[in-house]
Amino acid sequence: MAEQQPHAERATTASAPATTAGEKTVDGPTIRIPRAVIDALDTTAASAVVELPLSVWTTAQTSPAAQRKNRYVPGSTAHPAKMLPAVAAHAITHYTQPGDLVLDPMCGIGTTLVEALHLGRRAIGVEYEPHWVEIARANLALAHDIGIDYHAQVFHGDARQLATLLPATVRGQAALVVTSPPYGPSTHGQVITTPGVGVQKYHHRYGNTLDRGNLANIGHHRLLSGFTRILTGLVPFLRPGGHIAITIRPWREHAELIDLPAQILACGLRSGLIPVERCVALLARAADADLVARGSFFQRDFIRKQREAGLPLHLIAHEDVLVFRTPLHETPSRPNAATDTMSPRWQNRPGAFATASGGSSNVGSQAA
């Protein structure tokens, strides 16, 4: 696990001017930050405010394209909200052992599953959109073709129905869930520049926008309700003490900050989960004393427009990773059960989260 940082700054943002359409994508300008944001901070420093210790994951030392090279089929790039492979790999490495089972109930192109296979773990995913199911299965097949001989499955269906989607033999077996709810439309998609037409956006939707069964197409409060249901449904499939790592970030809607990390924390508590870590996964490269921005065209364009409107925003340089675990022993099901066995570091911290995403296909030979 990355070193703990009790007083890490929350301002892990990189300030860089927005790129224009057609501009070559390279490492952008840097903003100097204290190295302490990246390395362990001085834990002896006095502070009048009790803050939650953080782990900082340096997960963007190489570009997203480099992380996916030779592991993902070309169609994977079309997904509008892909998890960084290094984020999934970091969680898998630190919360599981070789041979363990890893789940992702909203697996998209199968990033969690692919990284699990390459790390010697077994994997199961669920995906609602048929197109992404096929892409995820293709990525698992690619892993198998290059000699990764671990078992993986992708189930097609609604993650809110896990009890009927996943086989009973999986219950109590998973060591880790890595997933992310859909959020923040401003940074999604690809662009193409056409003379006389300008910038056109594509690959910026998860699927059919009229399909209300997709959590990406429903209102924010219904999204939270649905995600709570997913977390609750995951608990029976995790072994005692198993972990759930959720990557999310705050985002803005009509200039209003939506503190999704705090809301997802509440979802986990309602599901009877015990919060154990709040981590920062960097989306910018950590240099000797700087963060080097890796903002996409849409991220830079969004920031440029917001600044033109008078809002002093910066490129987001990190994602929040909330890590929960299941109770070490089975406990009677009741509301807020997680608070009875909450990790001491989370107790008496009222402001800790005040600030800040069936058929099956088999790959490999080992049993799930």
CATH number of the domain where residue 15 is located: 3.40.50.150
Q: Looking at the 3D structure of the chain, how many domains does it have?
A: 1
Whole-number Å distance between alpha carbons of 49 and 125 = 41
| 79 located within any domain | yes
Which residues, at least 6 apart from 249, have a Cβ–Cβ distance to it below 8 Å?
183, 184, 260, 261, 316, 318, 319, 320, 356
**Residue pLDDT tens, the chain, 368 long:** 444 433 333 434 444 434 444 443 333 333 343 444 444 333 333 333 334 456 899 999 999 999 999 999 999 988 888 899 999 999 999 999 999 999 999 999 999 999 999 999 999 999 999 999 999 999 999 999 999 989 999 999 999 999 999 999 999 999 999 999 886 554 444 445 556 655 444 444 445 454 555 555 455 667 888 899 999 999 999 999 999 999 998 777 776 777 889 999 999 999 999 999 999 999 999 988 888 888 777 777 878 887 888 887 777 888 999 999 999 876 554 444 444 444 444 443 333 332 223 444 434 333 33
Of 114, 124, 225, 137, nearest to 177 by C-alpha is 124
| 47 located within any domain | no
Q: pTM for the whole thing? A: 0.70
| 368 located within any domain | no
| 179 SS3 class | strand
Of 254, 361, 291, 306, nearest to 60 by C-alpha is 291
| 34 located within any domain | yes
- Domain that includes residue 353, residue range: 11-42+52-363
DSSP state string for 19-35: PPTTPPP----EEE--G
| 141 located within any domain | yes
| 316 located within any domain | yes
| 330 located within any domain | yes
| 6 located within any domain | no
Triad 105, 110, 116: Cα angle to 5°: 90
